[in-house]
Amino acid sequence: MTSTSAPANPVRARGRFAARLLVAQALVLGAGALTTWLVASVLGPNIFRDHLEQAGVAHTAAETRHVEEAFASALLISIALALVASVLAALAVSWYFSRRVQRSIGNVAEAASQIADGRYDARVPDPGLGGEFATLALTYNRLAERLGATESTRRSMLADLAHEMRTPLATIDAHLEAVEDGVRALDDDTLGVIRGSTGRLRRLAEDMTAVSRAEEGLDVTPRPVDAAGLAAAAAEIASDRYTAKGVRLHTELADAGEVRVDADRIGQVLGNLLDNALRHTPVGGTVTLGCRRTGHWVEYRVADTGQGVAAEHLPHLFDRFYRADTARDRDHGGSGIGLAIAKVLVEAHGGGISVTSPGPGLGTTFTVRLPGRR
């Protein structure tokens, strides 16, 4: 049988800290008061006697002794009263600030305990003790905010992963069960459905690997590339898919000079944007891929005449697994992280990516800006 000791009471621990701080300050004040007393009692009478001699006033020995004793007594009494008053005032101020510091430490400890219990909304108020404590509170609150966002993303990611995996796994299970029961034959159609579901699982795994590697900054080898040629290559690769669906792919490629990028990675970005536009553009629609030079930047633009995006969804389109229309993307096989991969890869090259849409049914435009090569 094992025994465990109970954790120390944080309130008592805080009380001990405040008491020790107050005792330490009292010792410093006491040492200062004693030093002042000793110096005044030793040096004061001698200095007074020297001034009497310099004044040249004749006194008898008894009068001189009486005057010196009166001065020493008055000096020591006044110094003693002044020291007692100053020590009491200093202790009062020290007690006040010790309580303030104790309360600030207690707030941090309590918030840390709440975060340890999974309550990431805990915040530390500014204790009003100066810039250092304000910075500590602000930094702690930012940390709690980031931890909360990370935990929310983790939960959302796990939920989305489970949801994405459930459908293809259920399809595979249902068809295998039907084959075992003799309801379906193991023909090409059945195998095709099973392969399609396993392919969807494979794409999900590949997308997860891609975004993880992109965030780690792996496999990015920049070199000078013709900016317009990079866009033309992406359009050529996507052209067969556009033709098969009946969506027109239009290019507007101006001479934009060179960009220093990893051609494969930026090609992947443009490919993701073109695939995203194709999924959300109906038959007969148009997707335009543009490239132009704007100052020191090269700008790629992918604009479609598709379903558009509502304003409340625009800030979240680059989040992992976020889909403005979950059912629609699932039907088209999207995992919801293609745009997240694009964002990470563009930012790894020192650029930025943005999206605009007038609203549902009015199309969407993605813009990629990369530093141009001078």
Amino acid at 300: Y
Question: Which CATH architecture describes the domain 223-373?
Answer: 2-Layer Sandwich (3.30)
Q: Are strands 286-294 and 297-304 parallel, antiparallel or unpaired?
A: antiparallel
pLDDT one digit per residue (tens) for the chain, 374 residues: 444 444 444 444 445 655 666 677 677 767 776 777 677 666 666 666 666 666 666 556 676 666 667 766 776 777 777 777 777 777 777 777 777 776 777 777 777 777 777 776 777 767 666 666 677 777 777 877 777 776 776 676 666 667 667 778 888 888 888 888 888 888 888 888 888 888 778 877 776 676 666 555 556 788 899 999 999 999 999 998 899 999 999 999 998 889 999 888 898 889 889 988 998 999 999 999 999 999 889 999 999 998 888 888 888 788 766 655 543 344 444 556 778 878 888 888 889 999 999 988 899 999 999 998 76
Long-range contacts of 113-122 (CB under 8 A, 24+ apart): 113/10, 115/144, 115/147, 118/151, 120/144, 120/145, 120/147, 120/148, 120/151, 121/148
Angstrom distance (rounded) from CA 341 to CA 207: 8
* Domain range list for the chain: 10-119, 158-216, 223-373
pTM of the model: 0.51
Angstrom distance (rounded) from CA 94 to CA 25: 7
Dihedrals φ, ψ of 32, to 5°?
Answer: -65, -40
Tell me which residue has tokens 């304003």: 311
Characterize 271-295 residue by residue with b for buried, 16 or more Cβ atoms within 10 angstroms of its Cβ, and e for exposed: bbbbbbbbbbbeeebbbbbbbbbee
3-class secondary-structure state, position 296? coil
In the chain, helix, strand, coil percent, each to 5?
65, 10, 25
Sign of the Cα torsion 247, 262, 316, 297 reads negative
For residues 121 and 149, is the Cβ–Cβ distance under 8 A?
no
Which 8-state DSSP code applies to residue 7?
Answer: P
